[in-house]
């Protein structure tokens, strides 16, 4: 069995059982916690590679646990919740969640999100290149290639692509993108972002078999997503 440990923090026994059976079948080791305190202890003592976090726990709110976790570790956290309001998603992502899936969800979707985050988390630190399918970013030269052919990006397009690549598999909120790319003075001018995303999608030939996708989470933000064999 894989030594990749996934911690599920959920007070519903049936959900924990379902997740354990499905994740064990994929070769993951599963650690279970039913409360906030149990979950925190498991994070500290067992050091999981992925955390699946429910928000409504009997002894506290999952957001509070997320904030405590982020004080000492960057372990990827996927929030699983029945809440689907945009404001809730934005609050969680900006508090440090790596992804958010609304219940009920398909196991195929969850597994895909887990694998993307594991690939990102095990990438070589400060690597000179980013590669996803036919897309390559050469950070040292500030050049971008699709199918080994260099494509021209404006400085803003390049910075936007690098920000999404740095967080591959993770939804980056619109507010975070605007603040980092354009600064706080234009944080509310989201029309700029839509224009640049459209241009990037066209230039990296989104939709071809081996290109990553710039996915939109309506009202929340954008995610650079790539799965082998897309």
pLDDT at 124 over 50: no
Distance of CA 6 to the CA centre of its chain: 16
Beta strand 29-33 with 60-61 is unpaired
pTM score, two decimals? 0.67
For the ranges 63-67, 98-102, 155-159, 176-180, the one whose mean pLDDT is highest? 63-67
pLDDT at position 84, please?
A: 74
Q: Which domains, from first to last, does the chain contain?
A: 5-121 (3.40.50.2300), 129-225 (1.10.10.10)
**Mean of the per-residue pLDDT values of the chain:** 85
pLDDT given at position 203: 87
- Residue with the two structure tokens 């996915």: 215
- Summarised one tens digit per residue, pLDDT across range 139-184 is 878 899 988 889 888 888 998 999 999 888 888 999 888 888 877 6
Q: Residue 34: phi, psi to the nearest 5? A: -105, -10
């Amino acid at each position: 069995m894989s030594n990749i440990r996934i911690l599920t923090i959920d007070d519903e026994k049936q959900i924990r059982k379902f997740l354990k059976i499905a994740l064990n079948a994929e070769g993951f080791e599963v650690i279970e916690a039913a409360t906030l305190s149990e979950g925190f202890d498991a994070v500290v003592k067992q050091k999981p590679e992925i955390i699946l976090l429910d928000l409504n726990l009997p002894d506290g709110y999952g957001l509070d646990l997320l904030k405590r976790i982020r004080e000492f570790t960057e372990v990827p956290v996927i929030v699983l919740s029945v809440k689907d309001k945009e404001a809730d998603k934005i609050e969680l992502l900006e508090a440090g969640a790596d992804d958010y899936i609304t219940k009920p969800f398909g196991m195929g979707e969850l597994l895909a999100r887990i694998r993307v985050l594991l690939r990102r988390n095990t990438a070589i630190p400060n690597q000179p290149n980013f590669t996803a399918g036919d897309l390559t970013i050469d950070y040292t030269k500030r050049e971008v290639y699709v199918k080994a052919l260099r494509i021209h990006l404006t400085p803003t397009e390049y910075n936007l692509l690098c920000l999404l690549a740095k967080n591959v598999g993770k939804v980056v909120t619109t507010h975070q993108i605007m603040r980092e790319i354009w600064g706080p003075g234009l944080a509310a001018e989201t029309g700029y972002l839509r224009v640049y995303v459209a241009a990037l999608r066209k230039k990296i030939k989104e939709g071809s078999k081996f290109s990553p996708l710039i996915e939109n989470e309506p009202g929340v933000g954008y995610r650079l997503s790539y799965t082998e064999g897309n």
